[in-house]
Amino acid sequence: MACSASLRRTRFAPSPTGWLHLGHAYAALVAAGRADPGQFLLRIEDIDRARCRTDYEQAIFDDLEWLGLKWPRPVLRQSNRMDSYETALNQLISLGLCYPCCCTRGDIRAALSAPQEGAPMIGPDGPVYPGTCRARPMAAAGSGDVIRLNMARALDHLGDLPDFTETGPTHAGHHRLHPDWLRRQAGDVVLARRGFGTSYHLAVVVDDAAQGITDVTRGEDLFEATFVHVLLQAALELPTPSYHHHSLIRDSEGKRLAKRDDARALRSLRAQGATPADIRRLIGL
Ligand code: GLU
């Protein structure tokens, strides 16, 4: 019997905030293909309750089944995992790596436009936070605050920085985390959003470990976020999977597809009579 511990496990982790389009079909099929003969999991990333809808979630199941994909049930839903995210957040807090931040987007914009700041650095989460609240203790946290990672402290805490393996077409190789890049380009990322109890970065790291994901397969727009994820894995003493960031499917003008682009939604193509084989052809698989 094959040893299941050595089998690959990948996942497709959509957020039910719109209809799946050709780009999602590509991501799901590439992930499932890379899992073979291991296991392909579906995870519903529904922490943003205001934007997630049950009809979008049902459409994810319908579209992926129609494409011929199979995955174990029940699927992991992030909205059911808040206790696990809180435990991880508390672990980082108890290491002294977090602080509460009460800055609004407007405050951050104003701080970044101050003449002495120069051009703001743009990282995986947009403009890098200027650190206004960095000296606030966790004891001062108010219910409307977000919780940020103190990147400089996290780097000091870890000392030797980990590396990860990437097998995707654009960035294949071994990547070591660089303190300068993390400080300047990622900065004090948000770990818990106002009202969410978690952020994308924290939830994805906790869930990939909980699900025993060995190969994270996802779009190359998330490549830079991987440096933050690998740092969080090290701080939380979680294993680092290997990564495969695939190219993005673009429209005829070279723009990446968006969920609001209904014309390329799988359900619209299906309603017009497309078959799963047509979809594979359209995305070059
Ligand atoms: N939920 C994310 C998205 O829909 C994907 C996250 C990931 O694969 O790490 O873009």
Q: What is the pLDDT of residues 189-199, one digit of tens each?
A: 999 988 778 99
Q: Rounded to the nearest 10 degrees, what angle do helices 151-158 and 225-235 cross at? A: 50
Please identify which residue in the block is written with the tokens 């049930």: 73
CA distances from 219 to 69, 135, 169, 202, 249 (A): 19, 35, 11, 18, 9
Domains, the chain: 8-80+250-285 (3.40.50.620), 81-212+222-237 (3.40.50.620)
Question: How far does the centroid of ligand 1 lie from the alpha carbon of residue 14, in Å?
Answer: 5
| Distance from the alpha carbon of residue 27 to the mean position of ligand 1, in angstroms | 10
- pLDDT tens for each residue of 72-130: 999 999 999 999 999 999 999 999 999 999 999 999 999 998 876 677 788 888 899 99
Q: How far apart are CA 216 and CA 245, in angstroms?
A: 8
User: Using a 6 Å CB cutoff, which residues line ligand 1?
Assistant: 13-15, 45, 204, 218, 222
- For 227-285, the pLDDT digits (tens) are 999 999 999 999 999 999 999 988 777 787 776 677 689 999 999 999 999 999 999 99
Report which protein residue has its CA nearest ligand 1's atom 6: 13
Tell me how far apart the alpha carbons of residues 270 and 276 are, in angstroms, rounded to a whole number. Answer: 8
Measured in Å, residue 136 CA sits from the centre of ligand 1 at 31
Residue 102 DSSP SS3: coil
Environment class of residue 193 by beta-carbon count within 10 Å: exposed (0-12), middle (13-18) or buried (19+)?
Answer: middle
Closest residue (by CA) to atom 10 of ligand 1? 14
Residue 120, exposed/middle/buried by CB under 10 A (0-12, 13-18, 19+)? middle
Tokens of 5: 């511990």
* Atom 2 of ligand 1: nearest residue by CA position: 14
